[in-house]
Structure 1
Amino acid sequence: MADEAEPVSDRRTMVVSAARDVFLRYGYGRTTMGDIAQAAGLTRPTLYLSFRDKESIFHAVIRAMVADRIAEIRLGVAERETLQDRLVFACETWVLGAYELVRDYPDAQDLFDLKVLPVRESHQAFEALIADIIRQPLADSRLDIPEHLFAAVISNAVKGFKDMAQDNAALCDQVKALAAVTAAGLRAPNRF
């Protein structure tokens, strides 16, 4: 068993990491607190010192995964020069990871259920990131579209691509087409 005298924040991090793998493998419904405790190397009573229930662990797992992905996207976007390249990187990184997780672990679909508050929050976080990417190009264009609406359209489109794609290549092709059209539209809004 893990050292049960370790600081609570370290224990919580360890639990979230272990629980992620358990939720991927079994989904939310089939996962028990006992499964999570065992994966984290803790007793169930020690697990309850860090989290009140399975739902709070599940929410922490989703929030940690989203925070990691958003940080990865922000770093990668900063390295890209064109709007199109930034959008492709952001959208592919956001949806490909989710697509591949569900492909490899069918029960991982629970981690993307929009009925779960942190999942809805994750889409808001991604929309905010897209708004940051398009803010200046949109302001420079003559399009009269609020940035939050424009960002929501992009976010919802890539979610639809993820839900409907037959494979990674089709998903990437759709993301690239959306990024190309978006970049072209913001460069020359009078053409549309």
Structure 2
Amino acid sequence: MTSTKDKIISAAKELISRYGYNRTSMTDVAKEAGLSRQTVYAVFANKEDLYAETAYFTFKEHLNKVREDLTHCTCLREQLQVYFDVMVIDPFRFLQQHPEAITLWNGAAMRNHPAVIKLKQEHKLFLAELFVPYAKYIGASGQSPANMADLIILTCNELKCGKAHSIDELNALLDTLAASILALASPGEAA
């Protein structure tokens, strides 16, 4: 059985995807979830809390997809492509359609929200674990899997949140990032 919180998040995700954050109200979410507005406010104090939790839920879905797709990969290059497709390119397309989400996501209230902090921690841990098999090569340059994770997360966040102006530019920059990562982490694949 789906919890009330799950119903609300699912409704918010659908409406935000369709109309954007600014045009989605808590009343709209309540109606879409088949719940009263009071019930929605009993679970989420405000729209920002709902957005942060929805972002976390969406991130977990994306991360689970990456994990599943990684089982089919035979090398780091393929793993990076899966990661970029799901965690950077798909969100980039969403943010191109809903630019108000960039402003909200980069706001101080969102950066310090517990759900967003948890999301960032899980994201870093996932990427760091991905690079553990390459720790020998990464360590030879004085870096660590955690450092690589931080660099990739920061770089990809900048790219998907407006530094890349088109999908072609984003892909070209991700190709450069992948080549740099491969040169450091898996020199045999970089060639």
Structure 2 vs 1, CA of residues 46 and 81 (structure 1 numbering), >3 Å: closer, same or farther? same
Summarize the Cα distance change of 1:44–1:80 in structure 2 as closer, same or farther, 3 Å threshold: same
Amino acid at match of 2:154: N
Structure whose CA Rg is larger: 1
Report how far residue 188 of structure 1 moved.
Answer: 4.0
Deviation (angstroms), 1:72: 0.9
Give the deviation of 1:49 after TM superposition: 4.4
Taking the aligned partners of 1:112 and 1:48, their CA distance within structure 2 comes to: 21
Provide the TM-score with structure 2 as the length reference. Answer: 0.80
Q: Cα deviation per residue 1:102-155 (whole Å; 9 max; x = unaligned)?
A: 112233335633531234443333222221111111225522212211211121
TM value normalised by structure 1: 0.80
Native 8 Å contact 1:14 1:40 kept in 2: yes
CA contact (8 A) 1:127 1:148 kept: yes
What does the per-residue CA deviation read over 1:35-59, in whole Å, with 9 as the maximum and x for residues that have no partner?
2212222222333444344333222
Question: Partner of 1:27: helix, strand, or coil?
Answer: coil
Q: Does 1:15 align with 2:12?
A: no
**Where in structure 2 are there 5+ consecutive unaligned residues?**
none
CA distance in 2: counterparts of 1:31 and 1:80, whole angstroms:
38
Aligned residues: 181
**Match of residue 96 from structure 2:** 103
Aligned counterpart for 1:27 among listed residues 7, 21, 36: 21
For structure 1, list consecutive stretches of 5 or more residues without a partner in the other structure: 1-6
Aligned to 2:183: 184
The equivalent of 1:152 in structure 2 is 150
Identify the residue that residue 63 of structure 1 maps to in structure 2.
Answer: 56
Percent of residue pairs identical: 20
Name 1:39's counterpart in structure 2. 32
Say whether residues 1:84 and 2:84 are aligned partners: no
Aligned to 1:143: 141
Counterpart of 1:145 in 2: which secondary structure?
Answer: coil
The residue type equivalent to 1:137 in the other structure is: Y
C-alpha RMSD of matched pairs (Å): 2.5
